[in-house]
A and B are shown apart, each in its own frame.
Chain A
Amino acid sequence: MDQIYNNSYLFMAIFLLLGIFLPFATIWVIGPFLRPHNPTKEKISTYESGVEPTGDAMVQFNVRYYLFALLFVIFDVETVFLYPWAVAYDNLSSFALIEMVIFVFMLAVGLAYAWKKKVLTWD
C-alpha cells in the first residue's frame, strides 16, 4: 500500500514538472531561435487603443473586489472544514449532522449580514 502511495506522489511530481517543463522549453529554449526580436519604442509602449497611454495602471483599485476576496477566504475555509466531515460522515454519530448545521448556520448569518449590507450587489 505504501508503495502505491509513493509511486502516486511520484506521478504527481512528474506531471507537475512536465507542466513546468513545457512552457520553459518552448518559450525560453526553442522560442528564441524561431521568433524575431526587434523591440521598437512604439511596439513596447502600453496598448491603449492606439492613444498615447496616460498615467499608470498599478493604482488603488475598487475596494469591492477585496470584500469578495475576504468573503471567499471565509467560505473556502468553511469548505475545508466540511471536507473531512463529509469523508468521515459514516463513522460519526448523528450528532455530527446537528453540529455541522449549527456551524453552517453561523456562516449563513454572516452571508446574510453581507447581503443586508449590500456587499453582494454591484451598482
Chain B
Amino acid sequence: MAELLSQPFSWLNLIIMVSAGVVVLGVVLVFVMYAIYFERKVIGWMQLRNGPNRVGPWGLFQTVADVLKLMIKEDIVPAKADRFLFLIAPIIAYTPAFAIIAVIPFSENVFFADVNVGILYYGALSSISITGILLGGWASNNKYAIMGGMRSVAQMVSYEVPLIMSFLGVVLLTGSLNMKDIVAAQQDGMWFIIPQFLGFVIFLIAGNAELNRTPFDLPEAENELVAGYFVEYSGFRFAFFMLSEYVYIFALSSVMTVMFLGGWDAPFGLTFIPGGVWFALKFLLLVFYLFWARATFPRVKTQQLMGFAWKVLIPLALFNVMITALFKTISQAG
C-alpha cells in the first residue's frame, strides 16, 4: 500500500483503491458473520450448551442463514413513526463504523489511509453512531425505543469521554496521532500496555460500555425494554443496527491492538511469523474478551453505570494523563 499511496492520481489507482475498499468490506462482513457464530458458540460452551449446531457442519452456516432470513423479511415502518428519520437511522449508525476502518493499519504492508489525525478521526466518527441510535429510538415513537435510545445516548456520551482520554497517555508517549507511528514507537520500545496499563484498563471498560454490550447493555435490557432502541425495526434495517455493533467490535478491537498491544509487532523476537498473523491473534484475543465478559458478568444498574463513568473513570483517566506527562518531564530533565 505504501507505493500506491505515494503515486500520483490515476484512474487505475482509483480502481485499485475502490477494490481494496470492497475487499475490506467483504472481510468485515465475513468477520461479523463468524464473530456472531463464535460468540454464540463461546457463550454456549461457557453455559454448558452446544450453541448453534444444525445449519451446516458444526452450525457454521447458522449466521449466513440468519442474514438470508433477514433479507427476505418484510420491512415494517410503524404508522406513527417519523418516517424519514426512521428509515435513515440504521444507516447513520452503520456508516461511521465502517468508515473508521480506513485509518487502521493492519500490518506493515496492509494499511489504507496514512493520516496524521488517525486517532482523532476515530474519536470523531465513532461519536456519530450515537446520533443514529438516538434517531432510531426517537423516530420509532415507541416507549421502549425512546427509553432505550435515551439510556444509550446518556451511557455512550458518558463513556466516550474516558475512552477518548485513555488515548492521551499513548499520544503523550509517541507525540503523534498517526496509528502507524504509534506502532513504530512500540516496536522501538515496549508495548504501551506496560507503561499505560491504567489507560488500557480504562479503554477496556469504556470500550465495552461504548459498544452497549453486557455488562453495560442497559439500552437493550431485554427483560425491561424488550430490545431498546430497535424494537420497531425489522428485516434488513434491524440487521444494520446489529451489523454496526459488530463492525464496532472489529474497529474497537483493532484500535486497541494498535494502541496498546503493539499492532503487528512480534513479541519475544518471533519475527518469522508474519505481522498480520500477530495482529489477528491479538485482535481475536480482545474479541474473545468481549464475548467472555458477556457470558460472565451480570448487567449493572443505571445508577451504578453513570456514576462509575463520571466518578471513577474520568478522574482516573485525567490522573493517568497528568502522571504520564509528569513522568515524561522528569525523565527528560533527568
Taking Cβ atoms with an 8 Å cutoff, the residues of A that contact B are 3-12, 14-16, 18-20, 22-24, 26-27, 30-31, 34-39, 43-49, 53, 56-58, 61-62, 64-65, 68-69, 71-72, 75-76, 79, 82-83, 86-90, 94, 97, 100-101, 104, 108, 111, 114-115, 120-123
Residues from chain A with a CB closer than 8 A to the CB of B145 are 57
Range for the number of chain B residues in contact with chain A: 35 or more
Residues from chain B with a CB closer than 8 A to the CB of A14 are 17-18, 21, 102
Q: How far is the CA of A18 from the CA of B26 in the complex (A)?
A: 11
Cβ-defined contact, B306 with A35, below 8 A = no
Given A15-B24, A65-B150, does the pair A10, B14 have CB atoms closer than 8 Å?
yes
Asked whether B231 is an interface residue with its Cβ less than 8 Å from the other chain, the reply is yes
Q: How far is the CA of A90 from the CA of B307 in the complex (A)?
A: 35
Extra A-B contacts (16), CB below 8 Å, given A12-B103, A14-B102, A18-B25: A6-B9, A15-B21, A22-B98, A23-B91, A35-B74, A35-B75, A35-B235, A47-B232, A49-B226, A53-B80, A64-B154, A68-B158, A72-B161, A83-B171, A90-B175, A122-B303
Residues from chain B with a CB closer than 8 A to the CB of A57 are 140-143, 145-146
Cβ-defined contact, A26 with B4, below 8 A = no
Asked whether B240 is an interface residue with its Cβ less than 8 Å from the other chain, the reply is yes
Given A58-B146, A75-B314, A104-B322, does the pair A11, B78 have CB atoms closer than 8 Å?
no
Cβ-defined contact, A31 with B232, below 8 A = no
With both chains docked as a complex, state the minimum distance between the C-beta of A80 and any C-beta of chain B, in angstroms. 9
Report B87-141 residues with CB < 8 Å from chain A CB: 90-91, 94-99, 101-103, 112-115, 120-121, 138, 140-141
B98, B176, B226, B328: residue with the most chain A Cβ atoms closer than 10 Å: B98
- Per DSSP, chain A at the interface is helix
Cβ-defined contact, B325 with A100, below 8 A = yes
Cβ-defined contact, B5 with A19, below 8 A = no
Which of B237, B311, B328 is close to A115, meaning CB atoms less than 8 Å apart?
B311
- Per DSSP, chain B at the interface is helix
Asked whether B55 is an interface residue with its Cβ less than 8 Å from the other chain, the reply is no
Asked whether B271 is an interface residue with its Cβ less than 8 Å from the other chain, the reply is no
Q: How far is the CA of A114 from the CA of B42 in the complex (A)?
A: 42
Q: How far is the CA of A35 from the CA of B315 in the complex (A)?
A: 50
Q: Mark B1-44, 1 if CB is under 8 A from A, else 0.
A: 00011111100011001101110110000000000000000000
Asked whether B172 is an interface residue with its Cβ less than 8 Å from the other chain, the reply is yes
Given A4-B6, A47-B142, A120-B311, does the pair A86, B71 have CB atoms closer than 8 Å?
no
With both chains docked as a complex, state the minimum distance between the C-beta of A1 and any C-beta of chain B, in angstroms. 9
Cβ-defined contact, A72 with B314, below 8 A = no
Cβ-defined contact, B177 with A87, below 8 A = yes
| Closest 8 pairs (CB-CB, A-B) | A19-B98, A15-B102, A122-B303, A72-B157, A8-B113, A19-B95, A11-B113, A86-B171
Cβ-defined contact, B146 with A43, below 8 A = no
Cβ-defined contact, A27 with B237, below 8 A = yes
